[in-house]
Amino acid sequence: MFFNRNRNFGSWMEYVEADAPLSWRPSFPRSPIPLPGHVVLRSRDGEVTALSRPGFALPTDRFVQVDQRRRQLSFAPQRIPTAEGQDVTLTFVLTVRVSDPVAFLTAADEPDREVYLAAQIALRELVATKPLAEFIGQRIDLSPVAEAAREAGAAVGVEVLGDVHLKDLSLPHGVAEALSQAEVDKLTAASELERARTEVKITRARMGTAKVLEQNPLLAKIRLLEALPPGTTLELRDRSLDSADQPREPRDRGELDS
């Protein structure tokens, strides 16, 4: 914490961090200039007013600047039982902005907590009515949570923008392991099925080749020659030259009949 000369208030004042609670401060003789995205509120004689532009101020006037920029309202992980009693953990976030600065400062001590609590209760009521199966591989409709947050925010000057954004969903440990194993089994089965299909295709191709070679002896001999390793010696013999009574010598290895 340190001190700084703030031009908006025209006096020596303590510099406050962005996340510090709002506090009323004097600004004499003129009201402060609003920061970008902020609105200046004035408290005079117990009445709080939003100023549209800077003007003269009384010594007893107090001012505060309210941030109206869009911001994220994050929620801690919520561990909630489903309809079967299985706990699921959800983390979500709301996008909000201050729509009514006067109500934001006067309607509740902690307006953000009002919105937080309404959304938290609505989420628990929603999850408690749903079976665990609806949280697996499906998009969860969190519109009831957003509607509850809007109703609570309207009473304290907070506007909820858009829908609830689900950041994380954790299933029970046993269910998560079972889903993981089921996915592994699914991939393994698909791989084995593809391998079996490939083997069937190869077998059919070989059967077709064997049938063609059976019907074409010359082609079979050519394929045999192609299959021989380099350096193989072949002996070719014409049977027509052999006499009928002359015993036929055994053929050497690699001999082909012509």
Contact yes or no for 125/147 (Cβ under 8 A): no
**Complete edge-to-edge strand list for the sheet that includes strand 62-67:** 47-51, 38-44, 62-67
Q: What is the pTM of this model?
A: 0.57
Q: Based on the domain organization, do 85 and 149 belong to the same domain?
A: yes
Q: Which domain holds residue 158?
A: 68-171
Per-residue tens of pLDDT for the chain, all 258 residues: 333 334 444 433 333 334 456 788 898 888 888 889 899 999 998 898 888 888 888 999 999 999 989 998 887 887 877 777 778 888 888 899 999 999 998 888 889 899 989 998 998 888 888 877 777 767 778 888 889 999 999 999 999 988 888 877 776 655 555 555 555 556 666 677 777 788 888 888 878 777 777 777 777 667 777 777 777 776 766 666 555 555 555 555 444 454
Claim to verify: residue 89 and residue 157 sit in the same structural domain = yes
The domain tally of the chain equals: 3
Task: With respect to residue 5, please indicate whether it lies within any of the assigned structural domains.
Answer: no
Rounded CA gap, 116 and 101, in Å?
18
Write out the DSSP string of 45-86: TTEEEEESS--B--TT-EEEEEE-S-EEEE---EEEE-TTS-
110, 50: one domain: no
Number of C-beta neighbours around residue 163 at 10 A = 16
Longest Cα–Cα distance in the chain:
142
Whether 61 and 73 share a structural domain: no
Q: Of 39, 67, 95, which residue sits at a domain end? A: 67
Count of C-beta atoms within a 10 Å radius of residue 195: 10
Are residues 183 and 213 located together in one domain of the fold?
Answer: yes
- Taking the C-alpha atoms of residue 57 and residue 31, their distance in angstroms, rounded to an integer, is 5
